[in-house]
A and B are shown apart, each in its own frame.
Chain A
Amino acid sequence: MEKSNNTHSRRSFLKVSSITGGGMMIGFSWLANLIPNEAMAAAVASKDWIELTGFIKIFPDNRITIISPNPEFGQNVMTSLPMMIAEELEVDWTKIKVEQGDYDTPRFKRQFTGGSQAMRTTWKPLRTAGATARLMLLQAAANEWNVPLAELTASNGFINHKATNKIVSYGALATAASKLPTPEKISLKKNGEFSLIGTPQKNVEGSKVVTGKSLFTMDYKHEGMLIAMAIRPTAFGMKLKTFDATEALKMPGIKDVFEIQVYKDGYVKAGFDTRTFNNLVVVVGNTTWEVMNARKKVNIQWEAFQPYKEFAGAGNNKREDTIPAGLESTDEHLKQMYEKQQVQGKILRKDGDPDAAFAKAKKVIEKTYSAPFLPHNTMEPISCFAHITDERAFFVAPIQIPEMMKQSITTNLDIPAEKIEMKLARMGGGFGRRAYGHYIIEAGLISKKMKAPIKLIYTREDDMTNGVYRPSYMVTYKAAIDEKNNVTAIHIKGGGLPENAIHENRFPAGAFENYLAEGWDIPTNITIGAFRAPRSNFIASAEQSFLDELAEAIDKDPIDFRIELLKKAKANPIGKNNEYDADRYIGVLELVKEKSNWGSPKNKHAKRGVAAYFCHNSYAAHVLELTMKDGQPVVGNIVSALDCGVVVNPEGAKNMVEGAIVDGIGNVLFGGLRFEKGVPMQKNFNQYRMIRMKEAPKKIEIHFVQNNIDPTGLGEPPFPPIFAAFANALYKATGKRHYHQPFINDLNKS
């Protein structure tokens, strides 16, 4: 062990309290100085570096419960976060019980699932939490036996004094330990010295899942609970005009039909207060089927809205956005995007003299890529339970960002913060969609009106057609090649509705003397939001396809070409602010090259494509093998190399990489929501094609770079590069390059 530098200040404190029946409960509140400055600077979101709370319950009979503060949506944090605490607490993992923490951000400090940040932001705080508790238990034993602390060892939930052969359980010491002052200096194990971290552990909720017992919001029940569904405009660009509920109210089991306004007029939105539609007609009744039927009987008139303003941010960051009117269509969107590609965009980065290089070029390669809006299509449609009474506002919510819901709940529901109680249900998938908690407000408003416990349910059609979609994007990559087959300049230009996806400081920036990145955007009234690796998931698909085509044009192996560029960027980086670590990038490329037998493939019939990417602080590279059967691609084996630093739970980590791979193949091949006159043209899985068992890869082989770098996240990084690995393999198999997602459209034409 070494003394770590994360000694926390006197201001940080440890809350210790007795729990019913004896024992101790330790909550940790960490202040800003807990994590070193460099980590703070590198953190993506403003709060990521701050406080974090672990929560440990030790019972007198030595049962130990660890509370997992972050919401779980399948990324397995409910197992991996407690593993970090258990590592330093020195307990027997097989005997630990894990509980999901409720919404209590003041206590837990960070309750946010997104941005691949869970491991990264909790790495030191949670281990420090475990170590602090262990140290207090050791001190309690030292006091009781009157021996120096240094002579004691802690393991498997017991403390041992070797010289006198004494042993005592944590449970027996807990009360005494809870009365001790919080230790000021905490030593953490060095990376590489772990006994639990790095070992494959099974999902702590596995047996509940396979027996159908998991608590999803959809499954929540409450005495006297009513079911609510909303009716929303049929098209983006429309709003509610009038409605007549006479017939619906006559239907069996129906309690009420009324209008709600989700956000108040002039409401200043916080970061994730994105909504689909603001004025909804709500039908409330006894059972789901009755409400579904009555909903069809409500007679509603919609009308086109005029441009309007939305407000967001605070202080100097206060913002006014104009939401454009109009009924938008996918074909029109494409036309608008091609037009924008013809005019000068906003210069995002410029190195050297790209104009001169292109003017002198012997050959120029220019390719344009595009991708549509994507719905998240979580398997569990959106739902939320609310029971608002004078005493409390109780919710059961599937929400990725509980810590950011306070402003919206207090303002739009007129509920004081101290009355909010929220159970964080296991989420039936998230992928970014459940960061947008407008449904919590909707459910709250309905419960307030009905003065009853209610569960708001979205049908699949509601979920797919009222989404917070991945934006639609376009980008053109252009390369100048001289007479010696050297690439002398790169030009990237692109945008989207309503944002561009360009990361101008990422690779290949830094590798070319002449480099230009420009961006533009087009306003839209279609609601958009984060979708697994936002922006990266599109730009990587284009960039990594283009690099493949470029390598071929200058007669280079696609992996060697990338490595060569990275070595150049490392030795002689062009420009400033290059975001990636060339060595780690090269590391995953070399590993995937070796593990896939890139030079001498085992399967001579299959064609292979490679792609790599850096985002969310981690590095990923895939080699995907593909054959064509009856004009359709069949994915064979995939070999992946990842560098996300220390892997806390390899079992969960592999599962997440596999999930990202399947997700990417599904989206590049089939994903895309079409709009006509503001109407989403696919409403359910009969019209929206999702990847299924038959299209899933035959085998996925995952390799992690072994190093002692602190964990850097994994939920998103493997996702962006799989799109291009698929595209590049498809080219090898068909001789045709595909530029416009989803590829199934072109495949079915040819």
Chain B
Amino acid sequence: MIQLNINNKVYEVDASAEMPLLWAIRDLVGLTGTKFGCGMAQCGACTVHVDGTPVRSCSFPVAAAAGKKITTIEGMTEKIGEAVKKAWIELQVPQCGYCQSGQIMSATALLKSKPHPTDADIDAAMQGNLCRCGTYQRIRSAIHRAAEMI
């Protein structure tokens, strides 16, 4: 059994040590806001925070997350996360929406480390998050908008 602290709640999961955190969160804990996109840390759909740092949960062994503070999109309730979600709605970012959990997790982490990012900061921080619908410009604007709100 591995103990996981997800969104300030403790879960006991029966998983092999190398199971990716993504599948522990989705299949064993049952939180499905974190998405599966590629399974090799190339698309960012599975982004969660581990001790405040954004990680690609599809390539992060569950054992390495034990004892750490994991935050998923469902737990994005502090000030910055709320501002990001609000900006996402205000600027109507999502199209299909599948990648947006990961985009919001990456954007929130960026704003935590850089409260007023430049376009270049955003391009660098968001480079690992694919959006097949092409909402990139709106994501850029929404990050600036969230920065204003915070």
Give the interface of A toward B (CB within 8 A): 73-76, 202-203, 205-207, 209-214, 216, 218-219, 221, 227, 252, 287-289, 377-381, 426-431, 457, 459-461, 651-652, 655-656, 658-663, 666, 684-686, 690-694, 696-700
Contact = CB atoms under 8 A, between A and B. Distances in A.
What DSSP secondary structure best describes chain B's contact surface? loop
A666 B131 CA distance: 11
Contact of A211 (B20, B33, B119): B33
Interface centre among B26, B33, B34, B134 (most CB of A within 10 A): B134
B97 A205 contact: yes
Given A206-B92, A379-B45, A692 B100 contact: no
Interface string B112-138: 000000010011101101111111111
B94 A219 contact: no
A614 B94 CA distance: 27
A211 B124 CA distance: 24
Given A73-B96, A655-B95, A211 B73 contact: yes
B127 A694 contact: yes
Contact of B94 (A209, A459, A697): A209
A696 B134 contact: yes
Given A428-B96, A693-B139, A699-B137, A685 B43 contact: yes
A382 to B, nearest CB: 12
B39 A74 contact: no
A218 B32 contact: yes
A111 B130 CA distance: 29
Contacts of B132: 377-379, 429, 431, 663, 690
A58 B123 CA distance: 47
B137 A700 contact: yes
B130 A685 contact: yes
A379 B94 contact: no
Contact of A74 (B42, B72, B94, B124): B94
Contact of A210 (B16, B94, B129, B130): B94
Contact of B126 (A205, A218, A252, A693): A693
B40 interface: yes
B98 A428 contact: yes
Contacts of B43: 379, 460, 685
Contact of B27 (A203, A288, A700): A288
Contact of A693 (B16, B27, B36, B122): B122
B100 A210 contact: yes
A205 B98 CA distance: 12
Interface of B: 15-16, 19-20, 23, 26-28, 30-40, 42-43, 45, 72-74, 76, 85, 88-89, 92, 94-101, 104, 119, 122-124, 126-127, 129-140
Contacts of A203: 92, 94
A3 to B, nearest CB: 37
A234 B85 CA distance: 42
A213 B33 contact: yes
Given A207-B89, A212-B33, A379-B99, A659 B134 contact: yes
Contacts of A73: 96
B135 A693 contact: no
Nearest to A221: B30
Given A692-B136, A696-B137, 18 more contacts: A74-B96, A202-B92, A205-B97, A212-B34, A218-B35, A221-B32, A289-B27, A379-B45, A381-B37, A428-B96, A429-B96, A460-B38, A685-B43, A686-B40, A692-B130, A693-B122, A693-B123, A693-B127
Contacts of A694: 123-124, 127
A84 to B, nearest CB: 19
A205 B93 CA distance: 12
A222 to B, nearest CB: 12
A74 to B, nearest CB: 3
Given A202-B89, A381-B36, A212 B133 contact: no
A397 to B, nearest CB: 15
A479 to B, nearest CB: 34
25 contacts: A74-B97, A203-B92, A206-B88, A207-B89, A211-B76, A212-B73, A216-B35, A219-B32, A227-B27, A287-B23, A288-B26, A289-B15, A379-B37, A428-B35, A429-B96, A429-B132, A431-B132, A651-B92, A661-B134, A690-B132, A691-B134, A692-B130, A693-B122, A693-B123, A693-B136
Given A690-B132, A694-B123, A656 B96 contact: no
B20 A289 contact: yes
Given A429-B132, A686-B42, A693 B140 contact: yes
Contacts of A381: 36-37
Pairs A-B, 8 closest by C-beta atoms: A212-B33, A662-B134, A428-B98, A74-B96, A696-B136, A74-B95, A212-B73, A209-B97
Given A74-B133, A211-B85, A686-B40, A429 B123 contact: no
A661 B135 CA distance: 10
B6 to A, nearest CB: 13
A429 B97 CA distance: 8
A697 B141 CA distance: 12
A214 B97 contact: yes
Contacts of B137: 658, 662, 696-700
A482 B103 CA distance: 56
A686 B42 CA distance: 6
A663 B23 contact: no
A381 B45 CA distance: 12
B23 to A, nearest CB: 4
B15 to A, nearest CB: 8
A530 to B, nearest CB: 16
Contacts of B92: 202-203, 206, 651-652, 655
B130 A426 contact: no
B135 A659 contact: yes
B40 A429 contact: no
Nearest to B62: A289
A211 B97 CA distance: 10
Contacts of A289: 15-16, 19-20, 23, 27
B145 to A, nearest CB: 13
A221 B37 CA distance: 18
B110 to A, nearest CB: 11
A691 B123 CA distance: 12
A707 B124 CA distance: 42
Contacts of A697: 137
Contacts of B26: 219, 288
B134 A212 contact: no
Contacts of B42: 684-686
Contacts of B38: 460, 684-685
B138 A658 contact: yes
